[in-house]
Chain A
Amino acid sequence: DAGVTQSPTHLIKTRGQQVTLRCSPISGHKSVSWYQQVLGQGPQFIFQYYEKEERGRGNFPDRFSARQFPNYSSELNVNALLLGDSALYLCASSSGTEMYQETQYFGPGTRLLVL
């Protein structure tokens, strides 16, 4: 079975630009979460979606937005990019039905570099 897939794998943008990252969850999973991992740190929670509804949002500015589609895939958008947005962006999928006991399965990530 295919795992979580993310695209693109790498991206280079300049300050002020906008970027869209994409994620496809494991088949049958209805929840998608997004995390930002800055070099040398643990991942930080950005968003969680379930059945196309936002379930939670981390401490990130409004420049960050996301959505989930009827097929449960998801997009993360970041506007007005800053140098500090350079990071590995991880998508994780889970069933969405077991809440805090469930395992989140991570994709390989999209590495974003902002120049």
Chain B
Amino acid sequence: GNSVTQMEGPVTLSEEAFLTINCTYTATGYPSLFWYVQYPGEGLQLLLKATKADDKGSNKGFEATYRKETTSFHLEKGSVQVSDSAVYFCALSSYTGANSKLTFGKGITLSVRP
């Protein structure tokens, strides 16, 4: 079945530091890959996505590249801000049968200190 593995957290960084959050996946076929962010007390917001190999998703300074050869979709940001503090989830969707359910990783908490 499908699965998503995220690096263990939490992660604490200083403002303006470089961020990398690792994500690898196992899936049948050719999945679409997503990063969602969850701020305290809120639901999930789409951060970025990629639907085919070598695609790069980007948004708000965050980037992730769909690497089929390494089955990875690592999230990066060059300079984090305090406002980036949140929980980040990697997810995939692959068409199995008639539905397009999302399979999520466990999430990782990012704390950015001033």
Instruction: Give A contacts to B, CB under 8 Å.
Output: 4, 33, 35, 40-45, 48, 55-56, 58, 90, 92, 94, 99-109
Q: Using a Cβ cutoff of 8 Å, how many contacts connect chains A and B? A: 69
For B104, list chain A residues within 8 Å (CB). 42-44
**Cβ of B44 under 8 Å from chain A:** yes
Cα A83 to Cα B73 with chains together (Å): 35
Q: How large is the interface on B (under 10, 10 to 19, 20 to 34, 35 or more residues)?
A: 20 to 34
Contact with A along B32-49 (1 / 0, CB 8 A): 101010000011111001
For A43, list chain B residues within 8 Å (CB). 44, 89, 102, 104
**Cβ of B24 under 8 Å from chain A:** no
For A99, list chain B residues within 8 Å (CB). 95, 100
Cα A98 to Cα B20 with chains together (Å): 30
Instruction: Give B contacts to A, CB under 8 Å.
Output: 4, 31-32, 34, 36, 42-46, 49, 51, 89, 91, 93-95, 97-107
For A100, list chain B residues within 8 Å (CB). 31-32, 93-95, 100
